[in-house]
Amino acid sequence: MSTLQHFVGGRPLPGTSGRTAPIYNPATGHRTGEVDLASPEEIDAAVAVAVAAQRAWQDVPLARRAQVLFSVREAVVRRGDELAAVITAQHGKTLSDAAGEVQRGLECIEFACGIPDLLKGEFAPQVASGVDVHSLRQPMGVVACITPFNFPCMVPLWMLPNAIACGNAVILKPSERDPGASLLLAEIFLEAGLPPGVLNVVHGDQVAVNRLLVHPDIAAVSFVGSTPVAKHIYETGTAHGKRVQALGGAKNHMVVLPDADLNLAADAAVSAAYGSAGERCMAVSVVVAVGDVGDPLVEAIRLRVDKLVVGPGEDPASEMGPLITAEHRDRVASYLDKGADAGAITVVDGRTTTVAGDGFFLGASLLDRVTTDMDVYRDEIFGPVLCVVRADTYNEALALINANPYGNGVALFTRDGGAARHFEQAVEVGMVGINVPIPVPVAAFSFGGWRDSLFGDSHMYGAEGVRFYTRNKVITTRWPDPATSRVDLGFPRPD
């Protein structure tokens, strides 16, 4: 059994708190190692290292910073399989899913390679007589990045490339459940030429997080995780004067209109509901079947669910892996009884799917005739349970989505351009897919939901990421009239 240590100042640092958390291989159920959990004192020491490194890093020319990012990109491409293997071993998702996660993270590195362009300020000459104004964006200082278990590589890469390219130093506090990918990323950044101390990984639980939230030298906090924790992070961080973006949970709907391509919609529902065992903040967890599409759609989904191969993520035949822990698997499974007790129809019960061994597996489940007052509809289940809600009209579907407390992602399946256009305007959700099951925006855009899916006013990565990790400064300059200057210009002064 290995112990994962912190990574501070460019090298592994053993924990001193005496506290650790277990790491499992979710496909076998075996404990494979443990990770050190930082004390407040260890956080303070890591922040001090980051403060010193940041002072030098902010003066490194943009061209050099971009070169480091280009080298990071090359290393992530080269070591992509290694990253995917670590993700699958600790998270459980299939290797192809893990490789997809690395690829989406790579996009964010590529975006940050354009930092010399992204940091260009503005200039307005002659705003008054002899007066010019220009603006520049400067780094925030030391940034804390706190990430969830479900994308152990991609979510850190939503944050690190922009934060570092903008001249900040980072304390990354990954999920204690699968911290291996973050350590590999730290090693990759170091080998790519990032000075030691600019990127530090400190493991921990709420003790570490709560110290980061009040530490006077942490200037900004990027958080992704569940809604109650996101709210806590936002409220505590901002109360201590920090800039905070805190992305929370989700309950994503997929509306299917009667004119939709049924096969396309059913394929999309299955891949988006059960991919990564439903442990995605952009998973479809509710299909809203409008009008008479309900019965054929439920049947089309059922046929596909029956064929879904559940097994270890390392097995290329597996299409869905285990859940992250036994406790989470049992919690997700408990919703199947809750749904049935409340009157939902169990079309497929994932508990009947068995995989040999002690892995944290639960098969895909499908519940029909779910209503908005049921727990299975109201709670973020975060597992392979898809609920179908029936709606008589498009308007009814739209109204229930807009009434939901979450507003992360949504999708509409239709062939009707007018309906699609109305939907994209009227739906109160941050990220919308038309015939695309819950799209994660490409890196040139930014990622963020509305309402309880995001606290703060800044979305993640893309241009909003660059703004979040920098402070704007405006300089107003008055130039003396050249006629009054005593400097010899070497040519006749203008009249």
Burial class (CB within 10 angstroms; exposed 0-12, middle 13-18, buried 19+) of 302: middle
Which of 147, 200, 252, 446 binds ligand NAD (CB under 6 A)? It is: 147
Does 464 bind ligand NAD (CB under 6 A)? Our answer is no
Q: Which residue is nearest to ligand NAD (CB)?
A: 225
Q: Which stretch binds ligand NAD (CB under 6 A): 17-25, 38-46, 224-232, 462-470?
A: 224-232
Closest to ligand NAD by CB, 15 vs 167, is: 15
Q: What separation, in Å, do the N-terminal and C-terminal C-alpha atoms of the chain show? A: 82
Radius of gyration of the chain (CA): 25
User: Is residue 224 at the binding interface for ligand NAD, with CB under 6 A as the rule?
Assistant: yes
Q: Which of 28, 58, 138, 226 binds ligand NAD (CB under 6 A)?
A: 226
The only residue of 105, 139, 141, 148 in contact with ligand NAD, by rule CB under 6 A? 148
The amino acid occupying position 107 is E
How far is the CA of 15 from the CAs of 36, 201, 209, 214, 217, in angstroms? 5, 12, 16, 21, 21
Q: From CA 468, how far away is CA 441, in angstroms rounded?
A: 18
Site membership for ligand NAD, residue 221 (CB under 6 A): no
Contact 415, 389 (CB under 8 A): no
Q: Is 281 in the site for ligand NAD (CB under 6 A)?
A: yes
**Residue 321 near ligand NAD by CB under 6 A:** no
DSSP 87-104: HHHHH---HHHHHHHHHH
Which is the catalytic residue, given 113, 153, 281, 387?
A: 281
CA dist 26 and 321 (Å) reads 8
Work out how close the CB of 135 gets to ligand NAD at its nearest, in angstroms, rounded to a whole number: 30
Listed ranges 123-131, 171-179, 356-364, 481-489: which one lies at the site for ligand NAD (CB under 6 A): 171-179
Residue whose pair of structure tokens reads 């019960």 in the numeric block: 349
For residue 229, state whether it binds ligand NAD (rule: CB under 6 A).
Answer: yes
**Interaction of residue 377 with ligand NAD, rule CB under 6 A:** no
Contact partners, residue 397, CB within 8 Å, separation at least 6:
253, 255, 288, 290, 391
- Would you count residue 150 as binding ligand NAD (CB under 6 A)? yes
Interatomic CA distance for residues 398 and 390, integer angstroms: 12
CA distance 462 to 482: 43
Work out whether 382 is an interface residue with ligand NAD (CB under 6 A): yes
Which residue of 54, 88, 162, 408 would you call a contact of ligand NAD, by CB under 6 A? 408
Neighbours of 240 (CB within 10 A): 15
Cβ 172 to ligand NAD, closest distance in Å?
A: 10
Maximum pairwise Cα distance, the chain: 92
From the list 453, 455, 459, 464, which residue makes contact with ligand NAD (rule: CB under 6 A)?
453
CA–CA gap between residue 34 and residue 176 (Å, rounded): 9
Residue 257-276 contact track with ligand NAD, rule CB under 6 A, x = bound: --------------------
Query: Which residue stretch of 109-117, 241-249, 371-379, 397-405 sits at the interface with ligand NAD (rule: CB under 6 A)?
Result: 241-249
- 225 touches ligand NAD (CB under 6 A): yes
Choose which of 97, 380, 452, 464 interacts with ligand NAD (CB under 6 A).
380
Q: Is 416 in the site for ligand NAD (CB under 6 A)?
A: no
Q: How many residues bind ligand NAD (CB under 6 A)?
A: 29
Residue 277 lies near ligand NAD (rule: CB under 6 A)? no
Quick check: 176 binds ligand NAD (CB under 6 A)? yes
- Considering only 172, 247, 344, 400, the residue that binds ligand NAD (CB under 6 A) is 247
Q: Is residue 381 within 8 Å of 333, Cβ to Cβ?
A: no
Q: How far is the CB of 31 from ligand NAD (least distance, A)?
A: 18
Residues with Cβ within 8 Å of 217's Cβ and at least 6 positions away in sequence, in order, are: 47, 48, 50, 51, 141, 142
What DSSP element (H or E) covers 433?
Answer: strand 431-434
Closest CA to 174 of 6, 3, 2, 380: 6
CB of 236 to ligand NAD, least distance (A): 9
As a whole number of angstroms, the distance between CA 187 and CA 260 comes to: 47
Is position 281 annotated as part of the catalytic site? Answer: yes
Closest CB 328 distance from ligand NAD, rounded Å: 8
Instruction: Kindly list the catalytic residues.
Output: 281
Per CB under 6 A, residues contacting ligand NAD are 146-151, 155, 173, 175-176, 205-206, 209-210, 224-226, 229, 232, 247-250, 281, 380, 382, 408, 449, 453
